[in-house]
Amino acid sequence: MKCVSALVVIAVGQRTTQAASGSEGWASVREELRRSIREGYPAAVGREEARGYAWQMLHEFRSMFVLNYKKRLYASAGHASMAKHKVHYFFSMLLSMRALPNFMATWDVGARGTECAKTVGTRAPCLVIAKVDGYQQSGVLVPNPYFAHIDEWDARARTWGATPFERRDPRVFWRGAVNPHCSSGNAARLAALEIASRHPKLFDVKWTAFDPPRCNEIDVVADLKSAQGAFVAVSNFSRYAALLNLPGTMGGSYSRNLNYLWPQGAAILLWNSKAVEWYYPALRNGETHLGVDRGSLAAAAATLVRDATILQNLRARATRVFGSFLCGKCLERYWSDLVEALRAHFRFDLVLDDDAQLKNLLVGLDCDDLRSIDLGNWSSFYDDTHATPHTGHPCVYSRLDDTDPLYALCRAAQLDDVTSSEISSIVR
Ligand SMILES: *[C@@H]1O[C@H](CO)[C@@H](O)[C@H](O)[C@H]1NC(C)=O
Ligand SMILES: *[C@@H]1O[C@H](CO)[C@@H](O)[C@H](O)[C@H]1NC(C)=O
């Protein structure tokens, strides 16, 4: 009898938690997505507003726009940092998905998402991979680009987390760099390293590169030179029961590392910060992860070592965060929700699905400045040591010619324009 009732309790408990990170979590994520669009940009009620948004992007934000037209991606030659990995990974992730309907947006290539407010404001939709100051910051959240190819990411992530629980090191694990940026990310790193150095039984938290910032905001109290640790590949993170995430070194916002933690079958500790990513509305402190800071990190690690129930619940919930939000299909689901929401709010159907309208918008554009973006040989850019996209540029940027539908339309727009101005000068 006792056994039966215990089983019932477990079953009910599982159902409840599943709802929280599954459908209920998605509802929160989608609501924040829609809120950021609704409150961030006046809705296009008709063709004129839709034209206004698209025109701004094509002509005013030339180096920032991303256009998906007839299942092909385009940007301008001057797309900021085209040589960089991040830009390539962003496009390769999009190209690895099922074809998305026509849409346009600007994209802030930065880690903090602050360019959206500074440069674009409310004049066009602006995509960001993180908001360093929280949800109210301008912009629309998209997944960071370090998944690079959703199928490849999925296949790799599903092989991680293999170490059985009994064989795991019970300590909290972290590896990473401290660099000279005076960012909250480096401040958090120094604080965590210092706390860990005082509790070696609870932490295996070590740096792999150490060049600490010298600035007033950040004081380094302890001598952390000895807190060096050997590099550990992502595929070996599951040797630990609990994993710590710290804000990124560069901007103190998102951390690429966090992508790799959810699938490890470990409890996740997230350093408290205002920065948010797209799936954060689904996270619950104490359920999906433990929020920690300077004051609570040591106690949280001690709890995990002491309390098996808390640890096991956190492990199970972290795995569900991966299965619901960070799997390849999950990333794709978010992107298709996002594109649908953008199309509805900015009425891209009225200007991008209609060639006559789009042609009109292309008048005055330098057609030779447009580039198409295709997936190149991406098999080399996941690196087996890091198990992450690490080197290489998986995208190919091409100049366009008359065989390309956008180029043909763009050229025709310039010719029409010449013809119509000639006609008007003759009339005059
Ligand atoms: C993972 O750890 C094992 C044991 O220390 C080691 O032999 C192996 O090389 C590591 N894997 C990677 C990819 O570094
Ligand atoms: C793609 O890259 C891989 C790994 O570098 C290489 O082995 C392969 O030959 C390349 N394929 C093509 C078609 O270039």
The SS3 of residue 283 is: coil
Residue 60: predicted pLDDT: 95
Residues 6+ apart with CB under 8 A from 377: 394
* pLDDT of 363 higher than 90: yes
Q: For a substitution probing ligand 1, which of 156, 169, 236 has the most ligand atoms within 8 Å of its CB? A: 236
Residue 426: predicted pLDDT: 56
Residue 190: predicted pLDDT: 94
Q: Where are the alpha helices (DSSP H) in 41-126?
A: 47-55, 85-95, 115
Residue 19: predicted pLDDT: 42
The secondary structure of residue 274, as a DSSP letter, is S
Give the count of alpha carbons within 13 A of 37, CB side only: 23
Q: For a substitution probing ligand 2, which of 375, 379, 384, 396 has the most ligand atoms within 8 Å of its CB? A: 379
CA–CA separation, 32 and 37 (whole Å): 9
- Which ligand is located closest to the Cα atom of residue 238? 1
The model's pLDDT over 4-61, given as tens digits with 9 standing for 90+, comes to 333 333 333 333 444 445 678 999 999 999 999 999 999 999 999 999 999 999 999 9
Strand partners, 292: 271
Of 11-20, 263-272, 287-296, 357-366, the one with minimum mean pLDDT is 11-20
Residue 425: predicted pLDDT: 62
**Phi then psi for 378, rounded to 5 degrees?**
-100, 0
Q: Which two tokens mark 81? A: 């940092």
Q: Which amino acid is at 299?
A: A
| Closest Cα to atom 5 of ligand 2 | 380
Residues having CB closer than 6 A to ligand 2 are 377, 379-380
Residue 215: predicted pLDDT: 83
* 368 C-alpha to ligand 2 centroid (Å): 30
Residue 374: predicted pLDDT: 95
Residue 119: predicted pLDDT: 95
Q: Which amino acid is at 233?
A: A
CA angle 121, 333, 287 (to 5 degrees): 90
Residue 110 vs residue 267, higher pLDDT: 267
In this prediction the pTM is 0.91
The secondary structure of residue 410, as a DSSP letter, is H
Residue 219 vs residue 335, higher pLDDT: 335
CA–CA separation, 137 and 121 (whole Å): 10
Percent above pLDDT 70 for the chain: 90
pLDDT category at 392 given cuts 50, 70, 90 is confident
pLDDT category at 250 given cuts 50, 70, 90 is confident
CA–CA separation, 262 and 8 (whole Å): 28
Token match 């019932």: residue? Answer: 8
Average pLDDT, the chain: 90
Residue 6: predicted pLDDT: 33
Strands (E) in 286-360, as ranges, are 290-292
Query: What would the mean pLDDT of 181-207 be, rounded to a whole number?
Result: 95
Query: What would the mean pLDDT of 397-416 be, rounded to a whole number?
Result: 95
Query: What would the mean pLDDT of 176-203 be, rounded to a whole number?
Result: 94
CA–CA separation, 122 and 311 (whole Å): 44
**Phi then psi for 371, rounded to 5 degrees?**
-130, 140
* pLDDT of 224 higher than 70: yes
